[in-house]
Structure 1
Amino acid sequence: MTATERDAVEAFRRDVVEPSMKALVIIDFWAEWCGPCKALSPVLEKVAADYADKGVVLAKIDTDKNQFIAAQFQIKSIPTVYAMFQGQLVADLTSARTESQLKAMLDQILKQLPVAGEAAEVEAEIEPLIAMGEEILAEGDGERALAVFDQIAEVAPDHPAVLSGRVRALVAANRTDEADAALAALPAELAKLPEIERAKSALELARDAKPVDDLAGLAAEVAANPDNLDKRFELAGGQMAAGDRDAAADSLLGIIAADRDWNEGAARQQLLKLFDVVGLEDPWVSAQRRRLSAILFG
């Protein structure tokens, strides 16, 4: 092997093989005189840019300047496009000449390989921090939870769970105007996500749940006159404002059992908001849903 060939191998190892240990490397064998290569090049560059956060990178090999490398891959015509992962060729992408074709092939490859893209790395980094923020929020410490979510937002400012947690922390800290402004500033594509809907429910619930000065007195009044659903709904709001979700659920379920259509289904709507705020995967919500189903369909 000549010195030039050794340099070419070292450059290939550095620029292609080493990145392929973590990323999916698209190898584009091309040359200046090749018309089809010039037509394909912008397609490859755009797709590689679009898939960068999924762990895809592009490496271009000029076959005229790297004849030894081209020979090792037995390149007989160009453009030739391969995909490499962990030092091994995993696919021949040469037949993909359009953006949609190339993306379809990459999607199939990425489903089968443990490629660690930037998005996955960020997700792994912030996941325990989000869990910590949610735990603090569940304890009712809105200001502390807000500090955690603000810190995560510096790394992942557009992450739906982070945005949701931050808004809900503002609500828990009684900073509802700021929570409202944060929701209003979100782009339309984020505003429709389930995580953001959860934050909206938290804000709506906070505005609907009015604190009651004498909660025990109101509870006694409802107990003495259980058919007064207006008072029972007021009690549910006071219980939610006090953070007593068990008592609030009991009051709302009591209204639904007495008259499921009362006030255009207000009790059921409020209960569903409460479920959304607590988290639909929470065991408490599952238990309350079973109670609701027993009332509605039992």
Structure 2
Amino acid sequence: MAVSPDPVSMRGAVDLAALAAQQQRAASKPADSTSIELTEENLQDVAQQSAQVPIVIAFVSATSPASGELAARLDVLVAEYAGKFLAAQCDVDAQPGIAQAFQVQAVPAVMALIGARPAPLFQGSASDEQIREVLDQVLDVAAQAGVTGTGAAPDAAVEAASEPEPEPLPPLHQEAFDAIESGNYEAAEAAYDRALVENPKDADARAGRAQVRLMARTLTADLGAVRAAAAEHPNDPSAQMAVADMDVAGGQVEDAFVRLLDTVRVTQGDEREELRQRLLELFDVVGGADPRVLKARQALASALY
């Protein structure tokens, strides 16, 4: 049951990667979209619902504009079948466990869930006519499995009413959040700085500021060039810090910490202090309770003293 179209977690006060993913999903969905946002929290409920009506899932990512466009078209096409399907979306960046469970190798990818059993449909792009043909095949398979009911996606307004309203952010945190949304990282950092002046123990502001600084430093960096410069100048603190920034942003946290700790051990004076400060800032990005941070803090203390 397939067509052959063309193939194709930073923590803290503000999760910049999650924010980008949220904006991508919002932009890709029609205003009247009724597709289910598939998460680990509702996966069991969705699987149970698939025993009554087949569910077509689009696996998307903020890094793949094509996946958002495909999911939006799929939502419209599923609606043509008047309740014989439900449409769902799964953000593989926010839900890596689900992506792994469904063995999603690349996005966009589309699967069906029939009687709690996943059925791969296609990967990459597809025309509306190709998608309709696949949906017709899904209906045939679902009928053979006795899944012939109809359903409707949970009403967004009802879901929202059942969830408690999040507490508003403190004014300066909200100012920083708004600046991040508009891409003004300098203004966001300034807002967090003012928050820390008001309360030097504001851990969320410190983490948010560290993330904003990291985003600003890595926004236009060329990973290949950065790694080449670090390899050519192994004892240059600036070159090593640039690679460490890219590693943390890419999730290679331990590699970043080891690189900077090794450089601390071969430097002195102002260069060593700059490296220490960068490590402390990256600790804030990752989170003080993270085991990798606790281990690196101990190693830093040993290297310094």
TM-score, scaled to structure 1: 0.40
Which structure has the greater CA radius of gyration?
1
Q: Which has the higher contact order (CA 8 A, sep 6+)?
A: 2
Q: Could you say which structure has the higher helix fraction?
A: 1
